[in-house]
Amino acid sequence: MYSCSAMSLHLSVVLLCHNELENLPGVLSQVTDALLRIQNEGHADTAEVIVVDDGSTDGTEEWLAKEQNPIPLSVVRHKTRMGYGAAVRSGLDNATGDLVAYMDGDGQFEAIQLMDMIVLMGAQKADMVAGIRAERNDNFYRRSVGWMYNAAVRQCLNLNFEDVDCGFKLLTRSALEQIDLQLNGNLMGAEIFNQLKAAGATIVQMPVRHHTRKHGKAKGVDAYSLWATVLDLWKSATNR
């Protein structure tokens, strides 16, 4: 499936946010610096940033309306919070790049590692490069829920991958054309893996540095909701 032979490579980065006004300016600055460096070093010819504002009520909308950025910037706004999966889907639908990355807008990840992802993607002819949080800087509860989630995904969907819900992924345009995402919640990562695996895609994973957010509280779901959604996805995948 791998296809990334465009003469002029265009890179899209989707930033996902809900009430991240305190974090977003620093994250956008970091992403912009990374994209300028990626272009300067010849890994992409052009780039764009798409910010998906998933119903923020903290002034994010107003700040974005005034923001001027050296990298072309567009905003997709949900009037109300629709969920992580819906935000990812909106971002991917509006991205125009030959390669499309998405990452959380709370500062957990380092955008400069996109350069390593692009290099790895080319070397492995991968359809998706997915991050693995090498040292997950979360509290015990979030790490426990994450462990249960990944165990359930491996068991129910037979996905032998680590950290499938890591919010830092890079996909080719051809990979995006092979998937039809439906979920609105936090199981979006598993849905992407599941559909790409079914399509015969080449998926590689790469350790990425993970940081605790500087401001605000992490958004997450409880263990019961994660298990219920995984079971729903399993039923859908097996037509049960």
Quote the mean pLDDT of the chain: 87
* Structural element, H or E, at residue 168: strand 168-172
When pLDDT is cut at 50, 70 and 90, the band that residue 226 belongs to is: low
When pLDDT is cut at 50, 70 and 90, the band that residue 38 belongs to is: very high
pTM: 0.87
* Structural element, H or E, at residue 11: strand 10-17
From residue 51, how far is each of 71, 72, 95, 144, 159 by CA, in Å? Answer: 12, 11, 10, 30, 29
pLDDT at 236 over 60: no
Residues 137-151 pLDDT 10s:
555 656 666 666 666
What is the reported pLDDT for 194? 92
Instruction: Answer with the residue of higher pLDDT: 236 or 160.
Output: 160
The domain spans of the chain are 10-238
Please give the structure tokens belonging to residue 185. Answer: 């919640």
For residue 27, give every residue at least 6 positions away whose Cβ sits within 8 Å of its Cβ, in sequence order, or none.
Answer: 15, 20, 105, 106, 107, 111
Q: For the chain, give percent helix, strand, coil, nearest 5.
A: 40, 20, 40
Question: What is the dotted CATH code of the domain comprising 10-238?
Answer: 3.90.550.10
Residues 58-84 pLDDT 10s:
999 999 999 999 999 999 999 999 999
Please tell me what DSSP assigns to residue 112.
G
Q: What are the two backbone dihedrals, phi and then psi, of residue 234, each rounded to the nearest 5 degrees?
A: -65, -45
Mean local confidence (pLDDT), 191-218: 88
pLDDT at 105 over 60: yes
Distance CA 5, CA 125 (A): 11
